[in-house]
């Protein structure tokens, strides 16, 4: 501090030299301070300001700020400390007024958190950051600005460390350091508990590479909120280890790790972290992949189980690193199997086949199993993606079940659920016929006439067509629709029907399937236990809930409205009659009529707590048949309820609720679905079935086709759709979906069902699933891992379209002489198969030679042989052959025997280059009218097929190509059991080079075809032009091995299934890899491709004898 | 052909084998009366149907029943009387197999010490003495057997014995019955039209649950509830024909399961060994069928 002025006026006078703002601030502060200060102190205070202002041209701002904050700072600090605070500021101001300005501005916010010593150190830190440059002054200023917040979160020492870190970074880049400071100031206060760890991390990062500091901080600021509080320190220390290792950036790590952690519940996070720690120690490169698979594993497995899985993976990692890596990436069968065996979760895809057979057995029809998700996506009225249901042909089940601790119990749940759904088919819920009599009721249906619901919308606009539409509609009316038309309130009727029908099925299943009874009961008990007693239910709702609980088997403590006990008793009696053995869906319908009649008498008023009563169903003995009187009463009630027009009632209701005349009367709302029963839509299923039936050729005459408009109209007040309406934009779209589902003709803009366009999934992606028809998935062998990648390739089987028959004829004509030769050879194969076998222990007749010998032996006292018969042993040719043709792009290479050298033969290894090279080749070939490899392949095949027509052998001709593992094309030219027709011959014409060569899956698919064929000798003949090549299969030369090994594996698999594989290739460089591929299997490299047409039939004969 | 000879096993000559006690048979339709007419009219009979459905049992039953009502079909006088005086007509069953030749049916020469001796095959015996010759799974037999079957199954009713150079006219009481299972015939092993058009065809399928339950109860001795459950299992498993299983569970297997249950084997286990594992080797199919079993049986 410079001079201490002797008096206030002296100070004031001095301040006059500076802008007025300084004096103003001085005056304002003085007024506040003067009363509580000695004159000396006041003068010291005032003089300090003057000294500040005098420092540099702009320092008057600092002085003004000093005066502004000093009164509040003085509240905290005694005068001596205050002065030292101000002096530190003065020092700063001396260096850089903006820094000092920031220093003073934070004022008391900072000083209140610092001790005397710290105060100095703190100012010193700021000063240290200032390096005399403009940028560093911003940095230092920012430091002071952010100090209060940081001091709140960090200890003083930590702040010091941070400053040290920043200092290091500043030396490299002050911009970066500034960003870091801002980020730190922003992040640290949000995660005070992890500040130490974060600082450690930053230290580690900046020590390694100062550039990553900001990224790490950014990463941390994004990641930390996703990690649960108590695991943050551990997370950061893991990141620190990553930083210390040389693998990957910390920022990326944090992003992946936090992403992974956020996917699993907090209690599972420590497990993931400790696993990651181990992985980092063992194999840091795997960490990224592990973060992808880890959450999946941990969400499927419980603690101990995950541990077991992990330990197994580690063991594998030690023994065979590649296998271990695949294991952790979840790309090995072993990993999946282990997880499956450990997990208590049951996933639908794994038990789909099992359940399909089970359901087929029970239903006696071709039931399919699919995930509820699939149905929801069809947009035909079902919206829930997890609810089990059926649409008449397929049973839809939730994709995953993890309700219980034990796998068995989860599977049991699946079984109960599918049994219930199948029961709809087995006990014919959808077979409802309006005119079919019921078993235990006096039928009311014949006495009632369905009232056609009022037409809305369309009919009003088109009065003339309405009549015609009406007629068509009548014909299309399903029995269920007709039935529900009886009720003014369809929603209530449907709810009653659903409850009664589900109850009927449950009773029936439990009676028919004694073995399932316990499990079924358990599921029902769980359902009851988990069903909340809803508050504020109205009378009708309460009674339907009562009925629902009855149907679930609850007998005691049922809640009913006290004043409707008699009605409840009546309902229970109706329910009992429906749930009797041997009842049909028509009984459910009759029951629905009765319950509806009862409920229609009851206003849907809220039932207060004190008006509720408990009801015990004491299973009073009913007479089996209802009495005349009972049914008459119901009939009258029904007639009365029917007279109310639905529209009127609704309007009335609306009016009432709007005007608030009857606040107790509530609009009816349906009960909560029973999870194991799922959604039941009898009307929709009957409609769908009817639409499907209309599609059957024989049904076309009987059922009139319905068009979309009519359908749309019919659907308009179908209550089963109400829930779905929000998701389906218009009923037109809905009608469209429904018609498509039934396989009916669609509008042209609707794409036809079938194989979709190519989808390129990432090679790093997971297993595939065969969703579309004629697609098949196969495992692929990863030789490095020594394990299969499960469901890795998707084979799409398609039939080759027909072309011209000229190709066939021309080939036959061109190879006339050769064909004759081949034909003779083949003809000779036939008699070869009859052989008379001599000296047999039994047979057709005596073998004269042997008999004579035996006689002589006997006469001469030697024991004669008893093998004295001959037998004609007809060795029946029982051969099945699959010929696999390589249709890859490389077969488009032109053959020029005279000029082409061997070196030229091998294309570039880089796929992109290779393709370009090929295209050039192809163009060139076309121009020169040369034959291509594929042409020779085709011609040879034609000759072989022609010759084969002499034999009884079963043979299939297939082509393969494809692009990527999800698009392995398998083209059928002639299927195993297909006769050699003109169609097949025409198909030969259309065999053209296509994409890449992924041999493994093609071989596996051909193997499957052979497996399904019944023959003693099975041969798989692979005709190719070169090594396997495909995206993610073999690339850049180095990856060749993978493809070769997988192909070899596929061939070995074939052989283990009693199939003889044989590879015939025209690739002259073939020997090197064929040796690996076919080690101990038959293979041949054709030196001269022109010999293929004669060689192929020759090999065929040799292989099949 | 039974040639086993042990001390306590009775050895009966083929043509003397008659069914003496009434086999248990529940008719599914009018097959009994049809068969009777066929026998009287000497119309050969073809029994079609899956395995274990009761074709053999039906033939046995008919052989017993016809013997009861028919006096003309009496075989050799001495070997005919049983305790209650009932006389069946002989039943000669031949299970046909791939290597079965005409000689196996007609007979062959055997070498004896001095020269050879002719022995009749089962078909010759039936033709000679009268009786039902039942060729089970006839399509399995070699094609040369048709040479024998054809002249015996039309108006000629003769058996040509090539090796002996003789022809034998069939006995009054002779009837040819063949069976085959259309289910697992391949194109190679189908019954030729020229053969099948010599027979009247009686089609057999698994009986309705009610009848099958009775059969199972009777044959195995289990109570009617268990029998009903077994019959239900049979019905469900048969739904899987062509959907993962080649054949449905035969009534015979249901009876086996019933017998095991009666002897105290737990129902689930009994069904596993007698039905599930017997039906298929496919693990997936086994598991599915076992799930049906566990649904039905506790």
Q: Domains in chain A and their CATH numbers?
A: 1-112 (no CATH), 346-426 (no CATH), 433-451+486-680 (no CATH), 835-874 (no CATH), 879-1104 (3.40.50.410)
Cβ atoms of A950 and A913 within 8 Å: the answer is no
Closest chain B residue to the Cα of A518, Cα to Cα: B298
Q: Do B239 and A363 touch (CB under 8 A)?
A: yes
Same domain, B171 and B50: yes
Q: What is the DSSP letter of A931?
A: P
Q: Quick one: pLDDT band at residue A38, thresholds 50, 70, 90?
A: confident
Q: Rounded CA gap, A267 and A277, in Å?
A: 17
Same domain, B270 and B166: no
Q: Do A361 and B240 touch (CB under 8 A)?
A: yes
Same domain, B137 and B244: no
Domain termination site, one of B175, B203, B231: B203
A-B C-beta contacts closer than 8 Å = 70
Indicate the residue of B109, B235, B297 with minimum beta-carbon distance to A515. Answer: B297
Same domain, B75 and B129: yes
The structural domain count of chain B equals: 2
Indicate the residue of B186, B229, B291 with minimum beta-carbon distance to A354. Answer: B291
Instruction: Give one DSSP letter per residue of A603-618, joined into a string.
Output: --BB--GGGEEEE---
- Residue B284: its chain A contacts at CB < 8 A? 353-354, 357
Q: Are strands A869-874 and A834-840 parallel, antiparallel or unpaired?
A: antiparallel
Size (chain A), residues? 1105
Q: Rounded CA gap, B71 and B84, in Å?
A: 16
Cβ atoms of A97 and A52 within 8 Å: the answer is no
Mean pLDDT of A420-448: 87
Which residues of B touch chain A, with CB atoms under 8 Å apart? 101, 103, 109, 111, 186, 229, 232, 235-237, 239-240, 243-244, 268, 284-285, 287-289, 291-298
Q: Do A360 and B239 touch (CB under 8 A)?
A: yes
- Residue B289: its chain A contacts at CB < 8 A? 357, 361
Q: What is the pLDDT of residue A926?
A: 45
Cβ atoms of B92 and B17 within 8 Å: the answer is yes
pLDDT of B222 > 70? The answer is: yes
Q: What is the pLDDT of residue A1?
A: 59
What are the distances in angstroms from CA A988 to CA A540, A715, A843, A895, A980? 70, 49, 47, 20, 11
The residue to which tokens 């009960």 are assigned: A671
Q: Say which residues have a Cβ less than 8 Å from residue B57's Cβ, sequence separation at least 6.
A: B23, B24, B25
- Residue A355: its chain B contacts at CB < 8 A? 288
pLDDT digits (tens, 9 = 90+) for A101-110: 888 888 778 8
Q: Which of A637-641, A734-738, B283-287 has the highest mean pLDDT?
A: B283-287
Q: How far is A614 from chain B (nearest CA, A)?
A: 34
Q: Which residue has the higher pLDDT, A604 or B255?
A: B255
Residue B56 inside a domain? The answer is: yes
Q: What is the CATH number of the domain that holds B40?
A: 3.40.50.300
Q: Do A844 and B103 touch (CB under 8 A)?
A: yes
Domain interval for residue B55: 14-203
Cβ atoms of A970 and A960 within 8 Å: the answer is yes
Domain termination site, one of B149, B168, B203: B203
Cβ atoms of A126 and A118 within 8 Å: the answer is no
Q: Do A516 and B103 touch (CB under 8 A)?
A: no
Among A234-248, A555-569, A942-956, B5-19, the least confident range: B5-19
- Residue B236: its chain A contacts at CB < 8 A? 361-362, 364
Closest chain A residue to the Cα of B292, Cα to Cα: A358
Q: Do B298 and A415 touch (CB under 8 A)?
A: no
Same domain, B234 and B192: no
Q: What is the pLDDT of residue A753?
A: 36
Average pLDDT, chain A: 77
Cβ atoms of B239 and A360 within 8 Å: the answer is yes
Residue B1 inside a domain? The answer is: no
Q: Do A515 and B103 touch (CB under 8 A)?
A: no
Size (chain B), residues? 298
pLDDT digits (tens, 9 = 90+) for A544-580: 888 998 888 888 888 888 888 888 888 888 888 888 8
pLDDT digits (tens, 9 = 90+) for A610-636: 888 888 876 566 666 677 777 788 888
Residue B240 inside a domain? The answer is: yes
3-state secondary structure string, chain B? CCCCCCCCCCCCCHHHCECCCCCCCCCCCCHHHHHHHHHHHCCCEEEECCCCCCHHHHHHHHHHHHHHHCCCCCCCHHHHCCCCCCCCCEEEEEECCCCCCHHHHHEEEEECCCCEEEEECHHHHHHHHCEEEEEECHHHCCCCHHHHHHHHCCCCCEEEECCCCEEEECCCCEEEEEEECHHHCCCCCCCCHHHHCCCEEEECCCCCHHHHHHHHHHHHCCCHHHHHHHHHHHHHHHCCECCCECCCCCHHHHHHHHHHHHCCCCHHHHHHHHHHHHHCCCHHHHHHHHHHHHHHCC
> Residue A970 pairs with which residues in a beta bridge?
A797, A960
Indicate the residue of B101, B236, B284 with minimum beta-carbon distance to A361. Answer: B236
Q: Quick one: pLDDT band at residue B83, thresholds 50, 70, 90?
A: very low
Among A229-243, A863-877, A1006-1020, the least confident range: A863-877
Average pLDDT, chain B: 83
Residue B7 inside a domain? The answer is: no
Cβ atoms of A238 and A273 within 8 Å: the answer is yes
Same domain, B181 and B236: no
Indicate the residue of A353, A357, A419 with minimum beta-carbon distance to B295. Answer: A419
Same domain, B73 and B196: yes
- Residue A845: its chain B contacts at CB < 8 A? 103
Cβ atoms of A793 and A778 within 8 Å: the answer is yes
- Residue B186: its chain A contacts at CB < 8 A? 1014
CA–chain centroid gap for A551, Å, is 35
Mean pLDDT of A1077-1091: 71
Quick one: which of A190, A191, A165 has its CA closest to A180? A165
Q: Rounded CA gap, A33 and A45, in Å?
A: 10
Q: What is the pLDDT of residue A195?
A: 79
Q: What is the pLDDT of residue A654?
A: 46
Q: What is the pLDDT of residue A758?
A: 35
Q: Which residue has the higher pLDDT, A948 or A713?
A: A948
pLDDT of B296 > 50? The answer is: yes
Among A371-375, A573-577, A899-903, B213-217, the least confident range: A899-903
Q: Which residue has the higher pLDDT, A25 or A477?
A: A25
Same domain, B41 and B142: yes
Residue B261 inside a domain? The answer is: yes
Q: Quick one: pLDDT band at residue A649, thresholds 50, 70, 90?
A: very low
Q: Rounded CA gap, A761 and A750, in Å?
A: 25
User: CA A32, A36, A38, A43: dihedral to nearest 10 degrees?
Assistant: -20
H or E element at residue A831 = helix A816-832
Q: Do B292 and A358 touch (CB under 8 A)?
A: yes
Q: Which residue has the higher pLDDT, A922 or A604?
A: A604
Domain termination site, one of B153, B181, B203: B203
Q: Which two tokens stand for residue A774?
A: 């004629």
Residue B8 inside a domain? The answer is: no
User: CA A695, A701, A703, A704: dihedral to nearest 10 degrees?
Assistant: 100
Q: Do A515 and B294 touch (CB under 8 A)?
A: yes
Same domain, B78 and B158: yes
Q: What is the pLDDT of residue B214?
A: 93
Q: Which of A249-253, A312-316, B274-278 has the highest mean pLDDT?
A: B274-278
Q: Quick one: pLDDT band at residue A338, thresholds 50, 70, 90?
A: confident
Q: Which residue has the higher pLDDT, B223 or B186?
A: B223
Among A81-90, A109-118, A707-716, A842-851, the least confident range: A707-716
Residue B275 inside a domain? The answer is: yes
Largest CA distance in chain A: 161
Q: Quick one: pLDDT band at residue B30, thresholds 50, 70, 90?
A: very high
Q: Which of A145-154, A267-276, A414-423, A975-984 has the highest mean pLDDT?
A: A414-423
Same domain, B218 and B179: no
Same domain, B103 and B74: yes
Quick one: which of B123, B130, B129, B126 has its CA closest to B106? B123
Same domain, B92 and B158: yes
Among A85-94, A693-702, A781-790, the least confident range: A693-702
Tally of CA atoms within 13 A in the half-sphere of A1052 that contains its CB: 13
Quick one: which of A822, A801, A813 has its CA closest to A1100? A822
Residue B109 inside a domain? The answer is: yes
Q: Do A362 and B288 touch (CB under 8 A)?
A: no
């Amino acid at each position: 501090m410079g001079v201490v002025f002797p008096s206030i006026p002296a100070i004031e006078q001095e301040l006059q030299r500076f802008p007025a703002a300084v004096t103003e601030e001085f005056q304002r502060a003085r007024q506040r301070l003067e009363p509580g200060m000695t004159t000396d102190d006041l003068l010291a205070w005032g003089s300090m300001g003057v000294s500040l202002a005098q420092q540099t041209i702009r320092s008057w701002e600092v002085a003004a700020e000093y005066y502004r904050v000093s009164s509040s700072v003085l509240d905290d600090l005694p005068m001596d400390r205050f002065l030292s605070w101000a002096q530190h500021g003065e020092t700063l101001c001396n260096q850089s007024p903006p820094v000092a300005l920031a220093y003073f501005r934070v004022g008391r916010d900072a000083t209140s958190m610092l001790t005397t010593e710290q105060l100095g150190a703190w100012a010193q830190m700021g000063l240290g950051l200032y390096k005399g440059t403009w940028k560093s002054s911003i940095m230092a200023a920012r430091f002071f600005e952010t100090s209060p917040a940081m001091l709140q979160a960090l200890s003083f020492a930590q702040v010091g460390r941070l400053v040290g870190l920043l200092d290091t970074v500043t030396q490299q880049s002050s911009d970066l350091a500034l960003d870091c400071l801002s980020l730190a100031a922003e992040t640290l206060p949000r995660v005070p508990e992890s500040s130490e760890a974060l600082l450690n991390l930053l230290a580690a990062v900046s020590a390694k590479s100062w550039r990553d500091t900001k990224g790490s901080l950014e990463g941390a600021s994004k990641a930390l909120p996703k990690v649960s509080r108590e695991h943050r320190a551990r997370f950061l220390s893991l990141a620190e280890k990553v930083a210390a290792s040389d693998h990957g950036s910390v920022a990326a790590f944090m992003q992946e790790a936090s992403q992974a952690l956020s996917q699993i519940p907090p209690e599972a996070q420590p497990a993931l972290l400790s696993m990651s720690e181990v992985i980092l120690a063992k194999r840091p490169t795997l960490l990224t992949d592990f973060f992808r698979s880890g959450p999946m594993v941990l969400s499927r497995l419980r603690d101990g189980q995950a541990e077991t899985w992990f330990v197994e993976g580690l063991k594998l990692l030690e023994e065979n690193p590649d296998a271990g890596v695949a294991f952790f990436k979840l790309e090995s069968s072993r990993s999946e199997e282990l997880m499956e065996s450990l997990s208590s979760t049951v996933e639908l895809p794994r038990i789909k086949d099992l359940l399909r057979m089970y359901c087929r057995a029970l239903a006696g029809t071709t039931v399919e199993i699919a995930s509820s998700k699939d149905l929801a996506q069809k947009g035909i009225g079902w919206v829930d993606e997890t609810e089990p249901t059926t649409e008449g042909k397929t049973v839809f089940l939730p994709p995953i079940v993890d309700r219980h601790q034990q796998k068995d119990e989860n599977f049991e749940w699946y079984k109960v659920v599918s049994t219930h759904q199948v029961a709809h088919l087995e006990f014919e819920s959808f077979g409802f016929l309006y005119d079919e009599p019921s078993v235990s009721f006096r039928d009311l249906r014949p006495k009632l006439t369905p009232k056609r619901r009022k037409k809305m919308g369309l009919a009003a606009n088109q009065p003339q067509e309405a009549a015609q539409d009406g007629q068509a509609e009548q014909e299309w009316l399903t029995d269920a629709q007709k039935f529900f038309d009886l009720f003014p309130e369809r929603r209530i009727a449907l709810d009653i029907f659903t409850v009664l029908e589900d109850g009927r099925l449950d009773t029936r299943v439990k009676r028919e399937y004694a073995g399932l009874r316990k499990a079924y009961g358990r599921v029902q008990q769980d359902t009851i236990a988990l069903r909340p007693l809803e508050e504020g239910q109205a009378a009708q709702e309460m009674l339907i809930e009562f009925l629902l609980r009855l149907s679930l088997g609850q007998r005691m403590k049922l809640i009913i409205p006290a004043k409707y006990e008699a009605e409840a008793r009546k309902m229970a009696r109706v329910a009992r009659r429906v749930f009797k053995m041997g009842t049909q869906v028509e009984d459910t319908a009759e029951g629905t009529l009765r319950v509806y009649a009862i409920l229609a008498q009851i206003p849907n008023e809220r039932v207060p707590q004190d008006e509720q009563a408990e009801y015990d169903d004491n299973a009073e003995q009913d007479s089996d048949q209802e009495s005349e009187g009972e049914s008459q009463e119901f009939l009258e009630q029904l007639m009365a309820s029917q007279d109310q027009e639905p529209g009127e009632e609704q309007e009335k209701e609306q009016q009432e609720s709007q005007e608030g005349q009857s606040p107790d009367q509530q609009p009816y709302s349906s009960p909560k679905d029973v999870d194991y029963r799922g959604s039941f839509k009898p009307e929709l299923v009957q409609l769908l079935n009817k639409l499907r039936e209309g599609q059957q050729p024989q049904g076309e005459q009987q059922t009139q086709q319905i068009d979309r408009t009519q359908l749309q109209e019919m659907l308009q007040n179908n209550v089963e759709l109400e829930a779905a309406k929000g998701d389906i934009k218009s009923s037109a779209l809905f009608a469209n979906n429904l018609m498509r589902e039934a396989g009916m003709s669609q509008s042209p803009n609707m794409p036809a069902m079938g194989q979709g366009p190519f989808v390129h999934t990432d090679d790093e992606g997971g297993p595939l699933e065969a969703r579309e028809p004629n697609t098949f998935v196969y495992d692929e062998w990863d030789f490095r891992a020594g394990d299969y990648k499960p469901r890795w390739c998707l084979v799409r089987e398609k039939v080759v379209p027909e072309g011209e028959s000229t190709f066939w004829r021309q080939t036959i004509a061109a190879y006339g002489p050769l064909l004759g030769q081949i034909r003779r050879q083949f003809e000779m194969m036939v008699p070869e198969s009859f052989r008379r076998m001599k000296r047999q222990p039994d047979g057709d007749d005596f073998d004269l030679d042997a008999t004579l010998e035996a006689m002589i032996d006997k006469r001469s006292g030697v024991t004669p042989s008893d093998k004295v018969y001959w037998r004609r042993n007809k060795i029946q040719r029982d051969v099945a052959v699959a010929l696999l043709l390589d249709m890859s792009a490389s077969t488009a290479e032109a053959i020029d025997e005279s000029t082409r050298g061997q070196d030229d033969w091998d294309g570039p290894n880089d796929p992109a280059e290779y393709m370009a090279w090929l295209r050039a080749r192809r163009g060139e070939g076309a121009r020169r009218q040369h034959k291509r490899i594929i042409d020779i392949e085709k011609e040879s095949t034609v000759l072989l097929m022609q010759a084969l027509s002499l034999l009884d052998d079963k043979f299939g001709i297939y082509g393969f190509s494809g692009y990527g593992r999800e698009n392995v094309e398998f083209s059928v030219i002639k299927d195993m059991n297909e006769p050699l027709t003109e169609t097949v011959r025409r198909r030969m014409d259309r065999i053209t080079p296509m994409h890449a060569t992924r041999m493994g899956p093609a071989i596996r698919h051909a193997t499957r075809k052979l497996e399904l064929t019944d023959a003693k000798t099975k041969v798989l003949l692979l005709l190719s032009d070169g090594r396997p090549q495909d995206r993610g299969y073999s690339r850049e030369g180095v990856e060749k091995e993978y493809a070769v090994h997988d192909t070899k594996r596929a061939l070995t698999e074939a052989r283990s299934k009693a199939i003889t594989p044989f590879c015939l290739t025209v690739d002259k460089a073939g020997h090197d890899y064929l040796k690996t591929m076919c080690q101990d299997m038959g293979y041949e490299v054709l030196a001269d491709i022109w010999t293929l047409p004669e060689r192929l039939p020759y090999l065929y004969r040799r292989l099949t004898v | 052909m039974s040639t086993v000879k042990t001390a306590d096993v009775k050895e009966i000559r083929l043509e003397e084998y008659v069914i003496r006690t009434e086999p248990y048979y529940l008719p599914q339709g009018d097959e009994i009366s049809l068969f009777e007419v066929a026998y009287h009219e000497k119309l050969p009979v073809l029994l079609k149907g899956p395995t274990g459905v009761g074709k053999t049992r039906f033939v046995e039953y008919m052989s017993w029943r016809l013997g009861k009502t028919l006096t003309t079909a009496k075989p050799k006088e001495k070997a005919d009387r049983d305790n209650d005086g009932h006389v069946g007509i002989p039943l000669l069953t031949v299970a046909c197999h791939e290597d079965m030749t005409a000689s196996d049916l007609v007979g062959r020469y055997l070498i004896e010490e001095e020269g050879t001796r002719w022995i009749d095959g089962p078909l010759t015996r039936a033709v000679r003495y009268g009786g039902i010759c039942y060729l089970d799974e006839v399509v399995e037999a070699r094609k040369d057997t048709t040479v024998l079957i054809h002249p015996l199954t039309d108006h000629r009713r003769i058996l040509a014995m090539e090796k002996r150079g003789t022809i034998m006219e069939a006995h009054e009481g002779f009837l040819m019955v063949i069976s085959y299972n259309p289910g697992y015939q391949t194109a190679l092993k189908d019954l030729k039209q020229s053969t099948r058009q010599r027979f009247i065809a009686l089609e057999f399928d698994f009986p309705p649950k009610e009848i099958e339950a009775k059969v199972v109860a009777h044959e195995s001795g289990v109570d009617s509830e268990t029998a009903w459950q077994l019959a239900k299992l049979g019905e469900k498993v048969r739904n899987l024909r062509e959907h993962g299983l080649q054949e449905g569970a035969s009534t015979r297997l249901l009876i086996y399961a019933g017998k095991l249950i009666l002897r105290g084997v737990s129902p689930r286990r009994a069904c596993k060994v007698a039905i599930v594992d017997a039906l298929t080797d496919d693990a997936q199919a086994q598991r599915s069928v076992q799930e049906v079993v566990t649904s039905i049986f506790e």
